């Protein structure tokens, strides 16, 4: 009789148990790289396409077609299957080398929009440092199929410069 009660209780609490198991996996496991299958941008300079920001190299970069502050310009990445995003790495600028880093404008504020398979949107505003190298941000989302990074403000803007992002990396679970 006790076993039947236990099975019925587990069946009724299955949603809560699933969420508890997922929370435990997220809290104890190391996040794995999540690779998008399609990437695009609101616009792109001819030699600095969206794919450059997701290619694993920090000496190639995406830049929008228009020069200037880049406000409203975005990068977008789609995943083949829904993923659980936990962390985002952004390498701003055109390079991680200090003498090259300041050659173009760099995003100072980015809005990250996570889109679930049900079309629900979750946003997080990020403030980036004006420094070469990777910057890590905790960005949590479940059932994510698309991520958009929108430039809200930038460092080093001038009429002859473009905002540049060298690399974007996602980490979490499939």
Beta bridge partners of 89: 136, 169
Q: Which helix (H) or strand (E) holds 8?
A: helix 2-12
Q: Identify the CATH class of 33-173.
A: mainly beta
Q: Give the pLDDT mean for 107-131.
A: 98
Domain boundaries, the chain: 1-30, 33-173
Q: Give the pLDDT mean for 101-128.
A: 97
Handedness of CA 28, 127, 116, 38 (dihedral sign): negative
Q: What is the pTM of this model?
A: 0.84
Question: Confidence class of residue 25 from pLDDT cuts 50, 70 and 90?
Answer: very low
Beta bridge partners of 150: 74, 111
pLDDT the model gives residue 18? 46
DSSP state of 163: B
With tokens 């994510």, the residue in question is 144
pLDDT the model gives residue 30? 84
DSSP state of 20: H
Task: Say if residue 22's pLDDT is above 50.
Answer: no
pLDDT the model gives residue 15? 56
**DSSP string computed for 29-70:** SPPEEE--SEEEES--BTTB-GGGGGSS-TTS-B--SS-S--
- The region of weakest confidence among 14-23, 61-70, 102-111, 156-165 is 14-23
Task: Say if residue 27's pLDDT is above 90.
Answer: no
Under 8 Å between Cβ of 77 and 117: no
- Over the stretch 52-87, which tens digit does the pLDDT of each residue have? 999 999 999 999 999 999 999 999 999 999 999 999
CA dist 12 and 91 (Å) reads 46
CA dist 166 and 162 (Å) reads 12
Under 8 Å between Cβ of 92 and 166: yes
Task: Say if residue 24's pLDDT is above 50.
Answer: no
Task: Say if residue 6's pLDDT is above 60.
Answer: no
């Amino acid at each position: 009789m006790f076993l039947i009660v236990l099975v019925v209780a587990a069946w009724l609490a299955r949603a809560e148990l699933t969420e508890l198991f997922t929370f435990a996996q997220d809290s104890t496991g190391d996040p794995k790289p999540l690779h998008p299958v399609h990437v695009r941008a609101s616009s792109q300079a001819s030699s600095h396409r969206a794919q450059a920001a997701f290619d694993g190299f920090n000496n190639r970069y995406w830049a929008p077609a228009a020069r200037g502050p880049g406000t409203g310009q975005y990068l977008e990445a789609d995943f083949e299957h829904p993923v659980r995003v936990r962390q985002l790495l952004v390498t701003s600028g055109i390079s991680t080398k200090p003498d090259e880093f300041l050659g173009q404008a760099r995003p100072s504020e980015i809005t990250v929009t996570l889109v679930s398979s049900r079309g629900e949107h979750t946003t997080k505003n990020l403030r980036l440092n004006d420094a070469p190298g990777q910057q890590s941000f905790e960005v949590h989302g479940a059932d994510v199929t698309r991520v958009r990074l929108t430039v809200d403000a930038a460092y080093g803007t001038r009429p002859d410069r473009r905002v540049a992002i060298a690399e974007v990396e996602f980490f979490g679970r499939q």
